[in-house]
Structure 1
Amino acid sequence: MMKVIGAGLPRTGTTSMKAALERLGFTPCYHMVEVMTHPGHVDHWLEATAGKVRTREDWDRVFEDGYQAEVDWPASFYWRELADAYPEAKVILTVRDPHKWDPSIRMLLSGENRPAPSDEMPEQIRQLFTTMQRMRPALDQMGRSLFGPDWTFGNDPGDEDLVVAAFNRHSETVKQSIPADRLLVFDVREGWEPLCAFLGVDVPAGEPFPHLNDAESMRQAFERMKAGDMSGFPLGRPGG
């Protein structure tokens, strides 16, 4: 059953949050990596895009493999629907400086440094491209919700002011929609203490909070992909 609902946008520490939540026992935690490693999951998100996932029973089928938490798109796009479907779950809005988020999300959504698929690529990598291509209708819907009806995946989202405004608008919508006692607004730089206090669990003794998949590691992972090397994926994958 879903216990933790991530409402943050991609590139707000979602890969770190996945690792942290799983370390705290909220496992498995759904993340875009689940789509990338389970291509059949695309069908769930295309159904959600078409408005066919509405009830708790529908969402239970999406998360039928026992997911207790979710972060990152595609799941976090449906934070409002999930909060309604699982009223006992807590909600976490991951945030960061929106001016620093701007170049990070721009690199992700515009496809900067992303290699083009080719017949010379290993089969595993070509399958990854096929999976993400099937996700395009869902990803386009998510991007348009932020940047307007004319945006499509692969295009630059616009100038910095537009991107920052989109980030702030999303954050304010979540804050105004979820009761304060159910919501944690969280920057992963804050570490274990506020997260554990909110979730009612102990702080892991002697363990640093995970900080994974920063922008530089993503660039390096794409460079490895260009050479046909999948090391670093899925943790170095786009969308973390």
Structure 2
Amino acid sequence: MPLKIIGTGMSRTGTLSTKMALEALGLGPCHHMMELFANPTQVERWVDVARCDTTAWETVFEGYASQVDFPGGRVWQQTIHAFPNAKVLHTERPEEEWWASFSKTVLKVWANHESLTQNMPQHIKDIFVKLTPFYIDDTFGGMPDKEMALTAYRRNNRLVRELVPADRLLVFTPSDGWGPLCTFLQVPVPDAPFPRSNGRDEFWDNFEEEPAD
């Protein structure tokens, strides 16, 4: 099935809450970084994506109706053309808030992956070794400091607005709640609270411990 929703927002912009919301609205399964943690085949698939100049995107996202977060968010400039009927959902938050979250979670894991993943399955180790050029190098120009990270964050936010037609795009944060999302997707508002997930403590539950600063 082709993707119906393409997520262009970077990690730590409320992507896991958004994944849960999309699935609650019947637009799942939703692809997210956690799919790679759970499925070795997904890691192999994305290592192949990182090596290829051309990709069969319907095969890459086979079985998924929507996508948010890395690694799918890394290739949105290709997938918006591969899935021309998909709507584009751009999760975003104030840049200082994003940096505070990103630097204490995703970036900290990548910088300390050898120790953090030493007792984890091989496919999880492979994420941080084999996909580093695809993610860290291509997105930030190397392991980023704050200014490098914010430059990449601003660039991505700007490019989404420049390259995606306004009638196809929703700029969104989970704190907006169901209203804007359901209006954009033309679906009824659920009789349930909007999902909230992946705070810092919950993020670190995926690892044995959080390294000291």
Q: TM above 0.5, one fold?
A: yes
Q: Indicate the residue corresponding to 2:166 in structure 1.
A: 180
- 1:164 Cα shift? 2.2
Contact 2:5 2:65 in 1 (8 A): yes
Q: Indicate the residue corresponding to 1:139 in structure 2.
A: 132
Q: Indicate the residue corresponding to 1:79 in structure 2.
A: 76
Secondary structure of the corresponding residue to residue 202 of structure 1: coil
Identity percentage of aligned residues = 35
- 1:142 Cα shift? 1.8
Query: Unaligned stretches of 5+ in structure 1?
Result: 228-240
- 1:25 Cα shift? 0.4
Query: Aligned pair 1:11/2:43, yes or no?
Result: no
Q: Indicate the residue corresponding to 2:199 in structure 1.
A: 214
Secondary structure of the corresponding residue to residue 49 of structure 2: helix
Q: Indicate the residue corresponding to 1:237 in structure 2.
A: none
What is the distance in 2 between the residues matched to 1:117 and 1:92?
31
What is the distance in 2 between the residues matched to 1:52 and 1:163?
25
**What number of residue pairs does the alignment pair up?**
205
State TM-score, norm by structure 1. Answer: 0.79
- 1:41 Cα shift? 1.3
Give, as a single letter, the amino acid of the residue that structure 2 aligns with 1:141.
Answer: F
Q: Indicate the residue corresponding to 2:116 in structure 1.
A: 116
Runs of 4+ in 1 over 4 A off after TM superposition: 112-115
Within a 5 Å distance, the mapping from 1:21-100 to structure 2 comes to 21-54=22-55, 58-64=56-62, 66-100=63-97
Q: Deviations over 1:181-236 (max 9, x none)?
A: 0011111110000001001101102x1111100123224x15x6249xxxxxxxxx
Contact 2:117 2:124 in 1 (8 A): no
- 1:106 Cα shift? 1.5
Contact 1:47 1:53 in 2 (8 A): no
Give, as a single letter, the amino acid of the residue that structure 2 aligns with 1:30.
Answer: H
RMSD: 2.0
